[in-house]
Amino acid sequence: MSEYTSYRGERRPGGALAGIVLAVIIGAVALGVFVHHARSGFAGKLASLITGRQLNVISAPTVVDRIQALNRLETVVYSLDTVVEGDASFPLLPDALTGDKLLLIVHGQTIAGVDLSKLKPEDLQITDNGSARSVQVTLPASEIFVTTLDNAHTRVYQRTTGLFVHADPNLESVARQKAQTQLQEAALQDGILDAARKNARAQLTTLLQGLGFSKVDVK
């Protein structure tokens, strides 16, 4: 009686497992590449569905719109207390007869900043290096927006009028205008425009970083 024994080739479990692992790795890499490059259109929507998150890609026109929406960005308020003299005297006659003078105690402020509505598309450059996105912005010149007097804390401290004249009803208004001019000049001398630009750069840098830019250069 003859006995026949057949031998079948045995598959090694390790080879099958290695193949599965390799396939998973290749699939993960392919998916990562797809999600990384899918920034818009159908591919972007599909990538968002796969990852479960919204891909936030900001274009240059969108960034310009976001910045311009800030309009007049007020960054510095300069306050000053001073005394201003108003004078309507006649040089050839003594003040006791024809003079009209007043002393005005003044409290006011000058506000400066950057008008971002003046930003132009060519003032912004975006560089996309894969996952690292950088932006460079050239700001418009800083400027003084307004100089005002605080009427609640501005008053006539002293006024003297000559014997032969009536008090000039416009003298206080002239003194107030003079005070505004002096206040603005003092703010300029103390470097309000440089401070306004510095503060605007800091605020805009924070905004752009919040938009997802890894490198921000505002100048």
Q: 131: which residues sit within 8 A by CB, 6+ positions away?
A: 36
Q: Which amino acid is at 114?
A: V
Classify residue 65 by its DSSP letter: H
Q: Of 102-106, 107-111, 139-143, 193-197, where does mean pLDDT reach its minimum? A: 102-106
Distance CA 55, CA 65 (A): 19
Q: Is the pLDDT of residue 9 over 60?
A: no
Q: Which amino acid is at 109?
A: Q
- Looking at the chain, the whole-number percentage of residues with pLDDT higher than 90 is 41
Q: Is 28 left (phi over 0), alpha (psi -120 to 50) or beta?
A: alpha
- Spatial contact of 163 and 105, defined as CB atoms under 8 Å apart: no
Distance CA 216, CA 219 (A): 10
**Residue among 100, 85, 101, 194 at smallest CA distance from 142:** 194
The length of the chain is 219
Point out which residues pair with 110 in neighbouring strands: 78, 147
**Residue among 212, 202, 176, 160 at smallest CA distance from 82:** 176
pLDDT for 159 equals: 82
Q: Of 39-48, 50-59, 147-156, where does mean pLDDT reach its minimum? A: 39-48
pLDDT, one tens digit per residue, over 183-214 is 999 999 999 999 999 999 999 999 999 888 88
